[in-house]
């Protein structure tokens, strides 16, 4: 997780570290996997493939004290689209599973605040997401349930992404 920071107090080293971990690592991991998939496809050892990026609602939601997380999440969203565009010709589908509020560690700072917001309707589905919600989405992709799509975003966020009045 990327540490909270005020953008006006951010230092170069902290930003470089966060961007490296949150954006460059997924970029170069996907590059390595994609090149291996292409090698296997071209040798006839494989027939297509899938790459799934794990994203976050921070890709489209600002949080002034989570600016680096927002930057990396929006970058991951673009990685999905770029890799989908580049790898389609090889039959490699690329997806982003975009997580919302997922209950991973109880007692985290701010958890009680979000408990209340969820109860009040922050998300149409009024509960925390669970790790298995993410796993099921990735499983459906791996099971080729969406074989004629690529560059797609699967919002696993209880409906947080909806624009509601």
Residue 2 lies in a domain: no
Using an 8 Å Cβ cutoff, are 29 and 50 in contact?
no
CA distances from 102 to 50, 80, 130 (A): 24, 21, 5
Residue 71 lies in a domain: yes
Residue 138 lies in a domain: yes
Residue 13 lies in a domain: yes
pLDDT in the model for residue 53? 98
Range of the domain at 151: 7-156
Residue 1 lies in a domain: no
For the stretch 55-108, pLDDT in tens is 999 999 998 888 999 999 999 999 999 999 999 999 999 999 999 999 987 657
Please give the order of strands across the beta sheet that includes 49-56: 49-56, 92-99, 152-156
Q: Mean pLDDT, the chain, as a whole number?
A: 94
pLDDT in the model for residue 33? 98
Residue 60 lies in a domain: yes
Q: Which two tokens stand for residue 40?
A: 């296997």
Using an 8 Å Cβ cutoff, are 5 and 13 in contact?
no
Residue 20 lies in a domain: yes
CATH number at residue 121: 3.40.50.720
For the stretch 111-158, pLDDT in tens is 888 999 999 999 999 999 999 999 999 999 999 999 999 999 999 999
Give how many domains the chain has, as a whole number.
1
Q: Residues 29, 35, 40, CA angle at the centre, nearest 5°? A: 125
pLDDT in the model for residue 165? 81
Residue 164 lies in a domain: no
CA distance 44 to 79: 27
């Amino acid at each position: 997780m990327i540490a909270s920071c005020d953008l006006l107090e951010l230092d170069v080293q902290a930003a470089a570290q966060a961007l490296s971990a949150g954006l460059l690592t997924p970029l170069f991991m996907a590059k390595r996997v994609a090149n291996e998939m292409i090698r296997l496809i071209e040798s006839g050892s494989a027939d297509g493939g899938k790459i799934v990026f794990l994203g976050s609602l921070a890709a489209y939601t600002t949080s002034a004290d989570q600016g680096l997380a927002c930057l990396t999440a929006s970058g991951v969203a673009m990685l999905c689209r770029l890799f989908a565009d580049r790898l389609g010709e090889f039959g490699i589908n690329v997806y982003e599973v975009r997580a919302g509020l997922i209950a991973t560690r109880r007692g985290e700072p701010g958890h009680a605040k979000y408990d209340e917001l969820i109860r009040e309707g922050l998300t149409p589905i009024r509960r925390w997401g669970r790790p298995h919600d993410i796993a099921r989405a990735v499983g459906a992709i791996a099971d080729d349930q969406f074989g004629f799509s690529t560059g797609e975003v699967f919002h696993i966020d209880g409906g947080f992404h909806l624009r509601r009045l």
